[in-house]
Amino acid sequence: MKEIQVGLLGLGTVGSGVVKIIENHQDRLRHQIGCPVKISKVLVREIDKERAVQLSPDLLTTNVHDIISSPDINVVIEVMGGLHDAREYILTALRNNKHVVTANKDLMAVYGTELLSVAKENRCDLFYEASVAGGIPILRSIVDGLSSDRITKMMGIVNGTTNFILTKMSNEGSSYEDVLKEAQELGYAEADPTSDVEGLDAARKMTILATLGFSANVELEDVKVKGITRITEEDLNYSKSLGYTMKLIGLAKRDGEKLEISVEPTLLANNHPLASVNNEYNAIYVYGEAVGETMFYGPGAGSLPTATAVVSDLVAVMKNMRLGVNGNSAVSPQYPKVLKEDHEISVKHFLRIHVKDEVGVFAQVTSLFSQYGVSFEKIIQVPLLETNTAEVVIVTHRASLADYNTILQKLQELESIEGIKASYRIEGDRK
């Protein structure tokens, strides 16, 4: 093959990074695949817009079919984002026998099963390493590096925006609103940050990780999701005093054949490696029956880190083209999806409640926990001046999530309880 011709859908932050890497690393790419790589066409909304990279106007188009229907283009790289248009474009490209690389985690979380099936039918590659954790090669590590092992747990920080916000709130005592504004000014958070701060972005990534790691058809609706918008300075101060660090943690766990997938604010013991991952960085812990614990750490977003993952996928596609083995990478799920019930999930919890500062109230609370067999690891009671109430902070031992949720419900029914202020999962043991 004389050269590989690439069509690029989108020329924003990641698309510009892809162009830079392909242009600047031609010698490296030629060495790995034996021929040059040429960007033939780039889909943009406006031809004349100022951009981070300068391309000849002849390479730019506003008509997607100049790329996805062109007989000359071998590989389509989708970095435009969005769901429905991206899905249609990729389906058309695959049916036109074009290999596809995408960085679109929303797309793969929602339509991944369909797209991979169409890719296999047409003997095309569909790679999406950049859809999870930016420049960290986590998907390839799971699919290839750990392919001989049985993964039992994946746990990590997979959203840089929320990690930046929680790092700033914890280290500087800043309010959520102030740190969010700073994150938006620095470009870490979108003008509408809902997807990040409500945990939806992380949930999509955990859907992809769980599907690959457990070889089961995990869907976005299977992920229990809770965001960071209700975390307060009091929560962070108590977590520090108890030896914990607050992080938004994505968790995918397998016990036997049953799965648990969640995204929620979690208190990590300070000695846990994930507790020291700060600012916009991502990190993912992977537990295998044979390999034990491994951790992947690096920048979770940004132009060049994400573009590096995209171009790595492009190299994999091109190597497959030279070997004539395209379309064989997608493996159908091996196991049926069986999700755990709440009574099968065992968790430690941090609970902060306000109670009436009266005789017998504390006994009521402890009696309720005892009734469901939930014991305390630690308990703190602090009078709240001038309100005739007290703040009670409880760290439980492990208990079933069903029992814990029942306790929360019954606490709210007690007249002596002024309000449940916070409840968070705890992972890791303090030493």
Q: Is the pLDDT of residue 345 over 60?
A: yes
C-alpha dist (Å) from residue 421 to 21, 228, 353: 49, 14, 5
What local confidence, expressed as pLDDT, does residue 135 receive? 80
What local confidence, expressed as pLDDT, does residue 431 receive? 56
Find the DSSP H helices in 78-191. 84-95, 105-121, 138-140, 160-172, 176-186
Sequence spans of domains, the chain: 4-134+303-323, 138-299, 343-427
What is the Cβ-side half-sphere exposure of residue 261, based on CA atoms within 13 angstroms?
26
Question: What CATH code would you report for 4-134+303-323?
Answer: 3.40.50.720
Q: Is the pLDDT of residue 361 over 70?
A: yes
Lowest mean pLDDT among 20-24, 183-187, 261-265, 365-369: 183-187
What local confidence, expressed as pLDDT, does residue 187 receive? 78
If 0-12 CB within 10 Å is exposed, 13-18 middle and 19+ buried, where does residue 231 land? buried
pLDDT band of residue 1 (cuts 50, 70, 90) is low
Question: What CATH code would you report for 138-299?
Answer: 3.30.360.10
C-alpha dist (Å) from residue 370 to 278, 346, 348, 364, 391: 38, 16, 15, 10, 20
What local confidence, expressed as pLDDT, does residue 60 receive? 96
Residue 203 in tokens: 């949930």
Tell which residue, 152, 28, 27, 18, has the closest CA to residue 79.
18
Task: Give residue-wise pLDDT tens across range 59-79.
Answer: 999 999 999 999 999 999 999
d(CA 30, CA 25): 9
Q: Is the pLDDT of residue 147 over 90?
A: no
Residue 109 in tokens: 């979380």
d(CA 299, CA 281): 5
d(CA 65, CA 110): 24
Q: Is 80 helix (H, G, I), strand (E, B) or coil?
A: coil
Tell which residue, 89, 6, 87, 4, has the closest CA to residue 40.
6
Whether domain 343-427 has CATH 3.30.70.260: the reply is yes
* Catalytic residue from among 120, 168, 205, 247: 205
Phi and psi torsions of 26, nearest 5°: -60, -40
Active site residue 319: no
Task: Give residue-wise pLDDT tens across range 317-335.
Answer: 999 988 888 888 776 778 8
